[in-house]
Structures are given as C-alpha cells and as structure tokens.
Chains A and B, each alone.
Chain A
Amino acid sequence: MHRTPRAAMTLAAGALLLTGCAFGGGQAPTATETTDPTEEVTLTFQSLAFQDATIAATESIVDSWNSEHPETQIDLVQGSWDNVHDQLVTQFQGGDAPDIIHNEASDMAGFAHDGYLADLTPFLSEELRGDVSEGVWSTVTANDQIFAAPTIMQSYVAFANTAAFEAAGVEVPTGESLAWEDLRSIAQELTADGTYGLGWGLKSPTAPFMNLALGEEGTFFEVDPEGEATIEIGEGELAIPETVHAMAYEDQSLDPVTLTQTGADVLPGFLGGSYGMYIGGSFLAQQIADTAPEGFEWTVLPPLAGSAGAAQGTSPQTLSVSADSEYVDRAAAFIDYYMQAENLAAVGEGDCLIPTTGAARDALATATEGQTGWAEMLASGAVLEAAPFQLAVNYPQWKDQYATPAFQQYLSNAITLEQLSTQLTEGWDSIQ
C-alpha cells in the first residue's frame, strides 16, 4: 500500500532530473534524491544499541554526521529490544514510525512484505553494495528490493577454557575450522569427575539449530519470492540436534542441565571451570572479557564445520527506512555514512558482533589485533549467509508453537529423533 506513492516520488524525481538537465541544473534532486538537497530536515533514528561501548559509538557517528551535514540533522532516540516488534507494528499502522529503524533482518522481513519499508536499492552506494556478501544481502532482500542495510551479525562460536585443555592434556585446536566430530571427541577428553567437556545454553534451541544446520546442508525450508515455504526435514536438518543429544546422553560429555538454560545462565559455570568448552553467540565474548575471574585463560575455537563446511545462517542487525518517511534519500545517505568502515568497526567492537562489510572487518581486525578471540570470530563472519527460514513468512509462529517445544522435548530425551522430525513437519503443515 506504500508502493504507489513511492513509485510516484521516484518518477517525479526522474522527471525533475530531466528538467534539471535540460535547463541547466539548479537545485533539482538527482536520481537518488527524492527531496530538495538544500532543505533543512531532521530525521529520527531509533537505535537499539545495548552495550555501553556501542551506545557511545552510535552517538559518536550521529554527532559527526550532524556536524558534517547541517542540512540533514539526525535526532537519535534510544530504544530497547523489549517489545520492539509490537512497537513498530503500531507505529507503522499509525504512519508514525521513526525515519531510520534499527532492528534485525528476520523481524523486518514481515514489515517489508507488508510494504512498510522503503526500497533502499537506488540509494546505497556501489561501494557498500559490493562490500557485503551476496549471502548477507539475501537476508534483507524481498521481491528484488533491499528493505534494510545489514550492519552487524552474530555467529555461534565455541569458547574454550585453555587451562582446562592443558590440564587434560588436550591440544587447543587451530586451523580454519573445527569439525563437529572433533568437537565431540575433544569434549569426551575434557570430561572428568564433576566437569563436562561442553556446556551449551539451549533453552531456545530453534535459532541455533536452524542457523548451524547450513553447515550440514540442512535448509529446512524452500521459500518462494512471496514468502510461501515448504518444509523438508532430512539428515542435514537433524544432524546438529542429534550430535547434541548424543553428547548429552551417550557420551555424557555435555551437561544436560545446560540444555534448559540460556547462554547467559551457563556462562558462570564456564567461568567457574565446570565446562571445558561453551558454545554461544559471539557477543558473549564481551561478557567473558569483562567478568572472567583473574587468571582465567580462554580463547575462541575455529568456526564449527559440518559436511558443508563452516557455513552458518545469520539474521543481521539492520537499518531500514520507513516507507512513510518523506526523506528516504537523506535517511539512506545517513545509513551509508553509518556503514563506513571505521563506524561499523566501532559498533561491532562494542557488541562483539561481526560487521557485514569486508572493509569494516579489516578495520576491526586491525583494531583488535592480539586480543583474545577476535581473529576467530571475524573468521566465522566470512561464512555467514541467509538461511531460508528467515524469509518464510510463518516462521515465527512455527518456531514458538511447534519447533521450540519439539526441540526441547528431544533435548530432554522425551521423544525420539523420528518423533522430532514428525512434529516439526506436521507443525508446519498445520499452520499453512
């Protein structure tokens, strides 16, 4: 419903451009401008930055933009992740959403399908377009339109207590990737009286399993451009849950209690030496660095790899522009500025998340050279891509009603792998 006015604006911009060429220019907007570039405007930018360092980096970016661009001032509003979806639903319906919106790709895909987000395709610079991998662009593309600019992303990594490795006489793995089978055998070696080889907070198991499945050729869904998806559960989709289950109940090298906890719940146990390894989002590196006891020695292991390599799905954090914004071109210009290498590197460093652009990853690699874990985390960022489930329109409902309960039952050893497969498939079919 928002496409018609936008198309009209684009046509108007094109007409103005032609007029400008014919009559010698003046203040006519260019092809990527929808407004008079000399008009002074103020745009709202709702940021969800959370860590103190990221908040400071965001404020710094906005301040420097405002001082360099007096014609486009950015009014930074600090929002929160809590209920952001419902907040946006209401504000979009009321035509009152912020001009520039911070969120994550999988949550914005639905808004894009409903026409609430501006198409950024004509506005983002070629340099930026070429510096983000196609796999990441596909997480923010719907109907051939880019509905958001991907900024930073999370990967799942394995953290290691290197002192525990040394005590058990196990070599800390290095190299480009770490196979799941190797992780499993290392966990067995690290398991001793009262300590487990691995702790993994899998209270909400769907997202990690769906994302990590890509490394085992598990895609779960086939999605058409309209967001209609069909499910298929095979060996690739079930490989990671099966490995976790086997480690918890056959090898007993993974503490089954952690399967009922969040990543943050498991962290104190890792810091206290209860688990030699710990799998979680890369952002947890920040908490480990900040809160590890004196002398705690740790590192990040190479990216986890399955039969298809170390690929992982990711839902990057994004910046979008409301389709109702009168200044899409100006908002997009700010986004382009926000994504400059130094800016994005500062944001990624604050959150311990991986920038989507190669230039920002290089800048971050330089800035964090010698710091524990960063090289491995940045390496894992190179293999992040879109997982089909992110573009399946009914995924959130399936996740809450069927997938998460089914995975939880399987991890608690209440159902078999076959029953898990059946529940996942029948659950999806029931909501189509």
Chain B
Amino acid sequence: MPLGRVLQYVAIVLFMIFLAFPLLFLFTTAFKSQRELQSPDPQLLPAQWNLDNFTAAIDRANLIQAAGNSLIVALVTTLIVVAVSLPAAYALARFRTRLRKLATGWILLSQVFPFILIIVPLYLMLQPLGLGNSLGGLVVVYVVWSLPFALWMLQGYVASIPVDLEEAGAMDGAPKWRVLVSIVLPLLAPGLVATSLFAFIGSWNEFFFALVLIKDEALQTLPQRLALFVGAEGQVQLGQLAAASLLAAIPSLLFFALIQRRLTSGLLSGAVKG
C-alpha cells in the first residue's frame, strides 16, 4: 500500500478517535463514582465499573416516562414536518412564481428570531386553545419551529433532481403522480432522511419551549428532566447527568440506525431508476 494511502487511513482513524472522545468520556463518566469524578488525578476509565449513577438517575428524574413523552413528541413532529414540507418543497423548487423569492426570504428570516422573543406571544396563543400544558401544544410549536428549515433543506434536494428525469417519465406515458412516486420520491429519499433526522433530533433535544410550556411533571420531556441534574452556582451531579444523557441518546441512535438503512435503500433504488 502506498505511503500516502497509509497516512490517509491514519488521519481518518485519528479523526474518528477525536470525534468519538466526547462519547467515550460520557460513557466512562457514567460508570464512575462521585469520589472518582472529584479526583485531582482523573483517569479515563473508572477504577470500578458500577451502575449506581444509572439507578440514581432513573429514580431521580423518572427518565422512562420522560423518554416516552419525548419520543411521542419527536415522532409526531417528524411525521408532520415531513408530510407538510414534502409537497411544499416540491412546489417551491419546481414552480418558479413571484412568491418563491418572498417565501424563501421569509423562511430564512424566520430562523433569526431568538426563542425568547417568540415564546411569550406563542404562549399567549396556546393558552386559550388549551394547548398550554400539553404534548399537543409542544408538537405544534416544534412543527412551526422546524418547518421553515426543513422546507429549505428539502427544496434544495428537489432542485438537485434533474427535471429531465421527470420529463422522460412523462414522455414514456407515466401520469404525474406516477412520476412523483416512482422517480422523484426514490431520488429524494436521502433528503427525506436528512429532513426527518433534523426534525427528530431538533424536537428530541429541545429544552426551552418544553420548559416554559410543560408544567405537569408527567408530561415533561427528557431535556427538562436532564436539567434537574444541574443546580445553582455551577453545581452538577456529573455522574448521574452522564448516565441520564447516555440513556437519552439511545433512542436518537436507534432512530438514526433505523432510518439510515432506508437512506441506503433509497440511494440504491434511486440509482437503479436513474
């Protein structure tokens, strides 16, 4: 193997280690005792692996219930965002009307508002609708918040699919819906996956809206429960926080693993169709 190729592999391995280090640190911290965490001579690996932080975290923060709430909110948000943004993105990319520039400008502009600016009017609107302290209200907020960027992402993917392919399908006599389902959708699969991931992870990790909107403990989401491990004056229950964060990351990783397979099949089927 040429030296250049070897160096490339070494660089990739080092980069992977660099990227994986925070996760490794999180993993090992979750298994350390409080005494080890305060040690002036910190070690990467715990002297004795124990599950105390996990049991304490689950007990203190009721993580299972919170994970269920987060999962419901994130999945419903993702479904709605994809369902709404797909036709809208297609229209935005393909139909070049005067409104297009205005719409894309507004989409970009909507991303610059800080949360604190919009949370008060949003809160005042949701209260009379009975959505103030409910997972439904949180879904509405997350959909509204995720939609502009999802739309922006997806219309880029649509625009990257050559119109010639659609025209060729039409020339072969396929009706419009058939062209969309058999040609455009498979090619758009990577974009849909990326958009879904964006919507899912954004909703899964969001803290501030949930903090303000959800007061009932039974409805609180994972990020709200994770915040319980951080106190005033910089106090942190580091071991429990690491354990809880590790558990909280599992559904995201599973969702990513699941959807990544779709991504691969979508790419392949797109290639065959192309």
Contact = CB atoms under 8 A, between A and B. Distances in A.
The answer to whether A and B assemble together is yes
Interface of A: 44, 46, 48, 50-52, 55, 77-78, 80-83, 86-87, 89-91, 93-94, 96, 98, 104, 154, 262-264, 267-269, 271-274, 281, 283, 287, 290-291, 293
A419 B118 CA distance: 40
Given A50-B235, A269-B40, A274-B40, A94 B230 contact: no
B215 interface: yes
Given A80-B227, A96-B127, A268-B38, A91 B235 contact: no
B34 A290 contact: yes
B212 A80 contact: no
A93 B212 CA distance: 12
Interface in B62-114: none
Nearest to B115: A86
Majority DSSP secondary structure for residues of B touching A: helix
Contacts of A86: 116, 119, 208, 211-212
A114 to B, nearest CB: 14
Interface of B: 34-35, 37-42, 56, 60, 116, 119-120, 123-124, 127, 132, 207-208, 211-212, 215-217, 224, 227-228, 230-236
Given A52-B60, A83-B211, A291-B38, A78 B228 contact: yes
B124 A93 contact: yes
B235 A264 contact: yes
Contacts of B227: 80, 82-83
Contact of B232 (A93, A94, A98, A104): A104
A269 B212 CA distance: 38
A80 B228 contact: yes
A322 to B, nearest CB: 13
A121 B54 CA distance: 45
Closest 5 CB pairs of A and B: A272-B40, A50-B231, A291-B38, A80-B227, A82-B227
Contact of A263 (B56, B208, B234): B234
A44 B215 contact: yes
Contacts of B39: 268, 271-272, 293
B234 to A, nearest CB: 5
Nearest to B240: A52
B38 A94 contact: no
Given A50-B235, A293-B35, A81 B230 contact: yes
B208 A83 contact: yes
Contacts of B217: 77-78
A267 B38 contact: yes
Contacts of A51: 231
A282 B265 CA distance: 59
B212 A91 contact: yes
Given A78-B217, A82-B230, A94 B132 contact: yes
B232 to A, nearest CB: 5
B76 to A, nearest CB: 23
A271 B215 contact: no
B217 to A, nearest CB: 6
B40 A268 contact: yes
Nearest to B121: A93
A96 B120 CA distance: 12
Nearest to A82: B227
A81 B216 CA distance: 17
Contacts of A269: 40
B123 A94 contact: yes
Contacts of B124: 93-94
Nearest to B235: A50
Contact of A87 (B60, B127, B212, B216): B212
Contacts of A52: 56, 60
Contacts of A290: 34-35
7 contacts: A52-B60, A87-B212, A89-B120, A90-B119, A94-B120, A264-B236, A290-B35
Contacts of A87: 211-212
A250 to B, nearest CB: 27
A272 B123 contact: no
B34 A90 contact: no
A81 B230 CA distance: 7
Contacts of B234: 262-264
Contacts of B216: 77
Contacts of A274: 40
Given A83-B211, A86-B116, A94-B123, A271 B235 contact: no
Contacts of A262: 234
A90 B217 CA distance: 18
A91 B42 CA distance: 42
A150 B13 CA distance: 56
A272 B42 CA distance: 11
Contacts of B228: 50, 78, 80
A78 B119 CA distance: 21
Nearest to A91: B212
Contacts of B207: 82-83
B130 to A, nearest CB: 12
Given A82-B230, A94-B123, 12 more contacts: A50-B231, A77-B215, A80-B227, A80-B228, A81-B232, A83-B211, A89-B120, A93-B124, A94-B127, A98-B215, A154-B233, A287-B38
A301 B37 CA distance: 26
A157 to B, nearest CB: 13
Contact of A272 (B41, B208, B230): B41
Contacts of B40: 268-269, 271-274
A93 B233 contact: no
A96 B132 contact: yes
Contacts of A89: 116, 120
A103 to B, nearest CB: 10
Nearest to A288: B38
Contacts of A281: 233
A267 B35 CA distance: 12
Nearest to B59: A52
Contacts of A268: 38-40, 42
